[in-house]
């Protein structure tokens, strides 16, 4: 009997499997037919998009269930009732498998030129190859030396200390005041030298302002490079301004020498302050956190204006090659050639005093530039083209340098960093580590040496190198930029508020809020734990006296003279979503914006895609509905069925943050009624979670699989400039699992990403 049963099952199972396969094929074919008939006219036959209809390709991360609901409710747009019920289910299944699921074609690593940021860092490190590169330290402040003489003299140095900033009013007493009263520096004749480094966090144009009643000279970038010269004071002028482009993740040598000279006429009071206006910021005294008191080698910052890079995929990509890009790279090459003539070539001759037969020193110098720029050794053909040829063609050394550098920096070998298939495996690893973590080329001696010695022959060695490279100004700068992209801060234009409703809100407060957010991000990411969850759940922030005055006693700093400091435990505030800079930026001038806040959470923190609105709309003014709360007004405005497809998701998240008003202050009532913060979220798997209030939302995001995936994917795209799936269909899943296994350590995640990028496939389209 049992034998007969087994025989029956043996025959029946294949029949069932065949039947199931045929049924699946029938469903797929039916869904494909519906797609071709009703969807392809807007989305294209292969989901590639159609100009002037729906231009974006079909891709993303919606669940099958959500896709079914979307199609049943809204598609086709001209007749939503034409595809409902079973038809909506089968076409949703076909679309999900063909365009959204793992069965869809995986992207490949795309050949790309250097982005603007990568070009800036690459020429900066090409310069640093001859001048050395700054070593990381977290010790802020600027080194000050005070002399009892009208110029710096070692035997007359009376005070040596680290100053938090340069902001002093010595009046008519000189530096010998307070604890330094017995140092004996004469009030009518003294000199001060401040030296160290200027650390830059954001790439862009900085206006640097020196206000001083005395003579001074100011060097920046190189102590032989005069930035502002007021050695001979003219008239009553006391304010000096100059702008310069500086690059994030760099430290620029800084030296300012101030002279109080004895006068026959009445001696004016001595005072000085040094401030700056950062990109998109307001003027502020350069703070301690942006100074470094140790010695820093000369540094170069490219001043050439570069065109913006493509960001259509959510991260910078070097894909546009046009006249504007060509002209700007030529200008950059000419600018670098001049600095090579003025500073690098004299330095090279000073450090290499051997024989110079047949201009041998110049040949070595130009070969070193070419080898570094091309990220690996050059052969005889390239040596003749980029080194010997320019020297033979030009009798003047400067002309030879200019010609060689221009040819080198315009070469595809420099501009396209992935064109290195002829390099050794170790050299390619070094190239990708530098590109991933520094946005640059390998210039450090240790990294170049390990590449030459074929050191990177196993993953463990690559990981050690990546870990070492994470502890670098450049990686920290790139990490800060990644966090800005994750939080979409580039879309925060100048933040202004209604002066009648918020009379104490001004540009200085906005600057302090931004600095507070930066300090919070740095504290979490570079702490020992480097725990992503702390970004969402930390119950503290950074504050100063101005923030405390605006946001209340809980924001009181421990010592108002010490700049930004941690608060104690803040009531009603947890993590980034409670930070006033974010809540203020995601609001209107006179009211909150649950839509902006909801879109931010779902698109950036949860990594979900949203359809663009079918048509632009003007928000309903609160003045037109004075009796409605913000929640009621937004619900009214987004009540049409065509809006609800997206706004059921957006509003449900934005409403949870309604406890924070338009300037990020906590509130429990609006218009005399209790604020309703009830909302929720449906994750990729279709699970619905009820969320009420900002604390609940922050807790949810700290543990949400969707939030973890969004953060890891954003980090990978930012550092590698390629999609994770180009390195394997399971690359993102593996990185997420490691991220969780390592207690959500952000620094370890960056290392893991660099290892994948350095070890991964190198084939290009």
- Joined together, the tokens standing for residue 459 give 């993953």
Residues 692 and 547 in one domain: yes
pLDDT class for 454, splitting at 50, 70, 90?
very high
Q: In the numeric block, which tokens belong to residue 677? A: 């913060």
- Whether the per-residue pLDDT at 11 is higher than 50: the answer is no
- For residue 215, is it within any domain? yes
Question: 70-79, 162-171, 692-701 — which is least confidently predicted?
Answer: 70-79
* 3-state SS class at 46: coil
Do 73 and 194 reside in the same domain of the chain?
no
- pLDDT at position 497 over 70: yes
Nearest to 762 by CA among 730, 727, 717: 727
Parallel, antiparallel, or unpaired for β 190-200 and 142-147? antiparallel
Q: Which long-range contacts (CB under 8 A, 24 or more apart) does 100-106 make?
A: 100/58, 100/59, 100/60, 100/61, 100/62, 100/67, 102/729, 104/59, 106/725, 106/726, 106/729
Would 427 be classed as within a structural domain? no
Selection from 354-358, 377-381, 626-630 with the highest mean pLDDT: 377-381
Task: Check whether residue 63 and residue 173 sit in a common domain.
Answer: no
Average pLDDT, the chain: 90
| pLDDT at 14 > cutoff 50 | no
What pLDDT score does 617 carry?
Answer: 66
Smallest Cα–Cα separation from 684: which of 748, 733, 726?
733
Query: What pLDDT shows up at residue 16?
Result: 39
Q: Do 569 and 681 fall into the same domain?
A: yes
The pLDDT of residue 713 is 96
Residue 149 has pLDDT above 80, yes or no: yes
Reduced to 3 states, what is the DSSP secondary structure of residue 230?
strand
Q: Mean of the pLDDT values across residues 641-662? A: 90
Residue 297 counted as domain residue? no
For residue 661, is pLDDT > 80?
yes
Same domain, residue pair 147 and 85: no
Cα 409 to Cα 316, 334, 701, distances in angstroms: 21, 9, 45
- Is residue 276 packed enough to be buried (19+ CB in 10 Å), middle (13-18) or exposed (0-12)? buried
What is the structure's pLDDT at 55? 73
Q: Using pLDDT thresholds of 50, 70 and 90, give the confidence band for residue 166.
A: very high
Is residue 215 within 8 A of residue 168, CB to CB? The reply is no
CA 359 – CA 396 distance, rounded (Å): 11
Domain boundary among 268, 292, 316: 292
Same domain, 92 and 147: no
Residue 566 lies in a domain: yes
Q: Supply the pLDDT for residue 429.
A: 98
Asked if residues 120 and 126 have their Cβ atoms less than 8 Å apart, the reply is: no
Lowest-confidence pick of 83-92, 239-248, 252-261, 441-450:
83-92
- Cis-peptide into 76, omega within 30 deg: yes
In a domain, 560, yes or no: yes
Provide mean pLDDT across the span 160-164.
97
Tokens matching residue 15: 């029949």
Q: What is the DSSP string of 464-499?
A: HHHHHHHSSHHHHHHHHHHHHHHTTGGG-------T
Give the mean model confidence (pLDDT) for residues 97-107: 67
Number of domains in the chain: 3
Range of the domain at 27: 2-100
538 plus 680 within the same structural domain: yes
- Cα dihedral 473, 475, 477, 481, rounded to 10, equals 180
Collapse the DSSP code of 367 into the 3-class scheme (helix H, G, I; strand E, B; otherwise coil) and give the result: helix
End-to-end CA distance of the chain: 62
Confidence of residue 234 (pLDDT cuts 50, 70, 90): confident
Residue 693 CB coordination number (10 Å):
19
Residue 596 within any structural domain of the chain: yes
Q: Which of 397, 476, 492, 480 is nearest to 437 (CA)?
A: 476
DSSP at 588: -
- Out of 70, 100, 130, a domain closes at 100
pLDDT greater than 60 at residue 4:
no
One domain for residues 31 and 173: no
Instruction: State the CATH number of the domain containing residue 208.
Output: 3.90.182.10
H-state helical runs in 655-744: 694-703, 705-720, 731-741
Span of 467-471, 563-567, 679-683, 699-703 with lowest mean pLDDT: 563-567
Res 483 pLDDT > 60: yes
Residue 434 pLDDT more than 60? yes
> Are 174 and 284 members of one domain?
yes
Hey, what are 646's tokens?
């997206």
Residues 191, 78 within the same domain: no
Confidence band of 10 (pLDDT split at 50, 70, 90): very low
Q: What is the pLDDT of residue 13?
A: 40
Contact 535, 528 (CB under 8 A): no
The reply to whether 94 and 227 lie within a common domain is: no
User: In which band, very low, low, confident or very high, does the pLDDT at 561 lie, cut at 50, 70 and 90?
Assistant: low
Output the pLDDT for position 60: 66
Look at 64-73, 141-150, 310-319 and tell me which has the smallest mean pLDDT: 64-73
Please write the tens of the pLDDT for every residue from 346-363.
999 999 887 777 799 999
* Assigned domain for 713 exists: no
The 8-class DSSP code of residue 623 comes to G
**How does residue 21 score in pLDDT terms, banded at 50, 70 and 90?**
low
CATH number at residue 75: 1.10.760.10
Task: Give the pLDDT confidence score for residue 48 in this predicted structure.
Answer: 79
Contacts of 468 (CB under 8 A, 6+ apart): none
pLDDT at 245 over 70: yes
pLDDT value for 20: 53
Statement to judge: residues 516 and 665 lie in one domain = yes
Residues in contact with 628: Cβ distance below 8 Å, sequence separation at least 6, in sequence order = 622, 636, 671
Poorest-pLDDT segment among 83-97, 257-271, 414-428, 471-485: 83-97
Checking if the pLDDT of 673 tops 90, the result is yes
Q: Which residue has the higher pLDDT, 184 or 623?
A: 184
Predicted pLDDT of residue 597: 97
Q: Tokens standing for 403?
A: 């010609």
Write the secondary structure of 293-347 as one string of H (helix), E (strand) and C (coil). Answer: CCCCCCCCCCCCCCCCCECCCCCCECCCCCHHHHHHHHHHHHHHHHHHHHHHHHH
Listed residue (218, 194, 147) closest to 291, CA to CA? 194
Write the burial class of residue 705 (CB in 10 Å: 0-12 exposed, 13-18 middle, 19+ buried).
middle
Contact 31, 90 (CB under 8 A): yes
The enclosing H or E element of 270 equals: strand 270-277
Q: Which residue has the higher pLDDT, 187 or 98?
A: 187
- For the cut 80, the answer to whether the pLDDT of residue 103 exceeds it is no
Phi-psi map region of 542: left, alpha, beta (phi>0 left; psi -120 to 50 alpha): beta
The mean pLDDT value for 435-450 works out to: 97
Q: Give φ, ψ of 247 to 5 degrees.
A: -110, 135
Distance CA 734, CA 487 (A): 24
Whether the pLDDT of residue 252 is over 90: the answer is yes
Q: Quick one: which of 245, 198, 668 has its CA closest to 473?
A: 198
Which of 270, 292, 314 corresponds to the end of one domain? 292
**Assigned domain for 368 exists:** no
pLDDT at 29 over 90: no
Residue-level pLDDT at 760: 78
Q: In this predicted structure, which of 221-225, 331-335, 521-525, 567-571 has the lowest mean pLDDT?
A: 567-571
Report the distance separating Cα 745 and Cα 182, nearest Å.
51
């Amino acid at each position: 009997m049992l034998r007969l049963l087994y025989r029956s099952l043996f025959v029946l199972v294949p029949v069932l499997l065949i039947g199931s396969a045929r049924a699946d094929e029938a469903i797929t074919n039916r869904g494909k037919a519906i797609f071709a008939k009703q969807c392809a006219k807007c989305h294209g036959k292969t989901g590639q998009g159609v100009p002037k209809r729906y231009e974006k390709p079909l891709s993303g991360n919606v669940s099958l269930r959500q896709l079914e609901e979307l199609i049943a409710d809204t598609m086709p747009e001209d007749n939503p009732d034409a595809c409902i019920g079973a038809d909506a289910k089968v076409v949703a299944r076909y679309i999900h498998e063909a365009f959204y699921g793992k069965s869809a074609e995986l992207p490949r690593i795309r050949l790309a030129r250097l982005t603007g940021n990568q070009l800036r860092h690459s020429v900066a490190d090409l310069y640093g190859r001859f001048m050395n590169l700054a070593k990381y330290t977290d010790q802020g402040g600027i080194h000050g030396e005070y002399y009892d003489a009208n110029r710096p003299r070692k035997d007359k140095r009376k005070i040596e200390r680290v100053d938090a900033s340069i902001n002093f009013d010595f009046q008519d007493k000189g530096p010998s005041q307070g604890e330094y009263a017995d140092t004996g520096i004469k009030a009518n004749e003294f000199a001060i030298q401040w030296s160290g480094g200027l650390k830059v966090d954001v790439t862009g144009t900085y206006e640097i302002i020196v206000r001083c009643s005395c003579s001074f000279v100011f060097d920046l970038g190189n102590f032989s490079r005069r930035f502002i010269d007021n050695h001979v004071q003219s008239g009553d002028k006391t304010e000096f301004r100059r702008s310069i482009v500086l690059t994030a993740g760099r430290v620029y040598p800084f030296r300012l020498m101030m002279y109080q000279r004895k006068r026959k006429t009445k001696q004016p009071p001595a005072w000085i302050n040094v401030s700056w206006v950062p990109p998109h910021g307001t003027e502020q005294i350069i703070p301690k956190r942006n100074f470094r008191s140790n010695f820093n080698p000369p540094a170069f910052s490219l001043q050439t204006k570069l065109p913006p890079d493509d960001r259509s995929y959510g991260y910078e990509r070097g894909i546009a090659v046009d006249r504007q890009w060509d002209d700007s790279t030529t200008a950059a090459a000419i600018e670098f050639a001049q600095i090579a003539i003025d500073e690098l070539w004299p330095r090279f001759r000073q450090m290499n005093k051997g024989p110079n037969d047949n201009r041998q020193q110049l040949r070595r110098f130009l070969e070193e530039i070419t080898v570094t720029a091309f990220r690996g050794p050059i052969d005889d053909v390239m040596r003749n083209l980029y080194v010997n040829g320019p020297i033979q063609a030009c009798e003047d050394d400067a002309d030879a340098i200019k010609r060689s550098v221009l040819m080198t920096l315009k070469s595809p070998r420099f501009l396209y960093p992935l064109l290195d298939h002829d390099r050794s495996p170790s050299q390619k690893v070094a190239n990708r580590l530098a590109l991933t973590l520094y946005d640059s080329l390998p210039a450090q001696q240790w990294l170049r040496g390990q590449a030459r010695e074929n050191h990177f022959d196993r993953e463990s060695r690559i990981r050690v190198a990546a870990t070492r490279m994470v502890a670098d100004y450049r990686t920290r700068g790139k990490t800060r930029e990644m966090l800005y992209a994750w939080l979409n801060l580039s879309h925060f234009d100048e933040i202004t508020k209604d002066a009648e409703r918020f009379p104490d809100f001004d540009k200085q407060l906005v600057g302090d809020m931004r600095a507070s957010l930066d300090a919070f991000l740095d504290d979490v990411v570079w702490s020992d734990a480097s725990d992503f969850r702390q970004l969402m759940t930390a119950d503290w922030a950074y504050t100063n006296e101005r923030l405390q005055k605006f946001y209340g006693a809980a924001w009181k700093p421990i010592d108002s003279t010490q700049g930004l400091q941690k608060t104690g435990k803040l009531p009603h505030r947890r993590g980034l979503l409670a930070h006033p800079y974010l809540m203020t930026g995601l609001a209107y001038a006179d009211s909150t914006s649950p839509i902006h806040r909801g879109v931010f959470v779902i698109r950036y923190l949860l990594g979900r895609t949203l359809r663009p609105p079918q048509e632009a709309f003007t928000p309903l003014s609160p003045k037109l509905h004075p009796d409605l709360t913000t929640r009621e007004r937004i619900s009214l405005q987004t009540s049409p069925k065509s809006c609800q497809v997206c706004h059921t998701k957006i509003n449900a998240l934005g409403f949870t943050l309604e406890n924070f008003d338009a300037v990020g202050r906590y509130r429990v009532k609006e218009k005399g009624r209790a604020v309703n913060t009830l909302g929720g979220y449906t994750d990729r798997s279709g699970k619905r979670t009820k969320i009420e209030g900002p604390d609940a939302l922050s807790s949810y995001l700290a543990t949400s699989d969707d939030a973890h995936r969004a953060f890891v994917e954003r980090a990978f795209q930012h550092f590698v400039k390629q999609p994770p799936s180009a390195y394997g269909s399971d690359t993102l899943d593996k990185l997420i699992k490691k991220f969780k296994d390592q207690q959500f350590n952000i620094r370890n995640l960056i290392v893991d990403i660099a290892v994948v990028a350095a070890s991964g496939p190198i084939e290009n389209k």
